[in-house]
A and B are shown apart, each in its own frame.
Chain A
Amino acid sequence: MESTQTQSQIQGAQTPIPSQVQSQVAGGPVQVACGVVAYDELRLVESETRHPLLARSFGAIPDEELSKRQKAAEEELRERGVTFAVYGHGDGAEKVWPFDIVPRPILRDEWNRIEAGLKQRIRALNLFLDDVYGPKHILNDGTVPRELIMSADSYRPQCEGLKPPGGVWTHIVGTDLVRHNDGEVYVLEDNLRCPSGVSYVIENRELMKRVLPEVFQGASIAAIEDYPERLLSTLTQTAPADVAAPKVVLLTPGVFNSAYFEHTFLAQHMGIDLVLATDLVVKDGRVWVKTTQGPERVDVIYRRIDDDFLDPECFRPDSVLGVPGLMEVYRNGGVTLANAPGAGIADDKAVYAYVPKIIKYYLEEDAILANVPTYLCGEGDQLDYVLAHLPELVVKPTNASGGYGITLGPRASKAELAKCAESIRSDPRNYVAQPFLTLSTVPTVVNGHLAPRHVDLRPFILYGSDIFVLPGGLTRVALVEGSMIVNSSQGGGSKDTWVIDG
Chain B
Amino acid sequence: MICRVADSIYWLSRYIERAENIARFIDVSQMSSLGGRAIRDAQWAPLIYASGDEAAFRERFGDDFSQQRVLHFAIFDEQNPNSIFSCVRSARENARSIRGELSTALWEAINRFYLRVTEARVAAGTIVENPHRFLERVKRSSHTIVGVVVATMSHGEAWNFAMLGRVLERADKTSRILDVKYFTLLPDLSLVGSTLDIVQWSALLESTSALHMYRKRFGKIEPKQVAEFLVLDRDFPRSMRFCVSLGEECLRALTGTAPGMFSNSAEQQMGMLNSRMNYANIDDIVNNGLHEFVDSFQQQINEIGGEVSKIFFQPEA
Contact = CB atoms under 8 A, between A and B. Distances in A.
Q: Do A and B bind each other?
A: yes
Interface of A: 78-81, 254-255, 260, 263-265, 267-268, 273-276, 278-279, 281, 289-295
B4 A279 contact: yes
B59 to A, nearest CB: 24
A278 B317 CA distance: 11
A276 B5 CA distance: 10
Contacts of A276: 4
A265 B157 CA distance: 21
A265 B108 CA distance: 13
Contacts of A295: 317
A278 B96 contact: no
Interface string B304-317: 00000000110101
18 contacts: A79-B108, A79-B112, A79-B115, A81-B96, A81-B99, A81-B108, A254-B97, A260-B96, A263-B100, A264-B96, A265-B100, A268-B100, A273-B5, A291-B3, A292-B157, A292-B254, A292-B315, A293-B1
Contacts of A260: 96
Helix, strand, loop or mixed for chain A's interface? mixed
Given A255-B93, A264-B100, A292 B111 contact: no
Given A290-B315, A292-B254, A80 B2 contact: no
A191 to B, nearest CB: 23
Contacts of A263: 100
Given A79-B111, A80-B111, A81-B108, A292 B100 contact: no
Interface in B127-175: 157
Contacts of B107: 81
B74 interface: no
A289 B108 contact: no
Nearest to B108: A80
A291 B2 contact: yes
B257 to A, nearest CB: 13
Please provide the 4 A-B residue pairs with the shortest distance between their CB atoms, ordered closest to farther. A268-B100, A264-B99, A267-B100, A81-B111
Nearest to B313: A292
A78 B115 CA distance: 9
Nearest to B96: A255
Given A79-B111, A79-B115, A292-B6, A268 B99 contact: yes
Contact of A291 (B1, B100, B112): B1
Contacts of B312: 292
Given A255-B97, A290-B317, A279 B3 contact: yes
Contacts of A274: 98, 100-101
A281 B1 contact: no
A274 B97 CA distance: 9
Contacts of A290: 2-4, 315, 317
A135 B312 CA distance: 49
Nearest to A296: B2
A79 B312 CA distance: 33
Contacts of B111: 79-81
Interface string B280-317: 00000000000000000000000000000000110101
Nearest to B5: A273
Interface in B75-99: 93, 96-99
B205 to A, nearest CB: 36
Contacts of A289: 2
Most buried by B among A289, A292, A293: A292
B173 to A, nearest CB: 26
Contacts of A268: 99-101
Contacts of A255: 93, 96-97
Nearest to A261: B99
Contacts of A265: 100
A152 B167 CA distance: 57
Contacts of B97: 254-255
A207 to B, nearest CB: 14
Given A255-B93, A267-B100, A268-B100, A292 B3 contact: yes
A294 B315 CA distance: 8
B2 A275 contact: yes
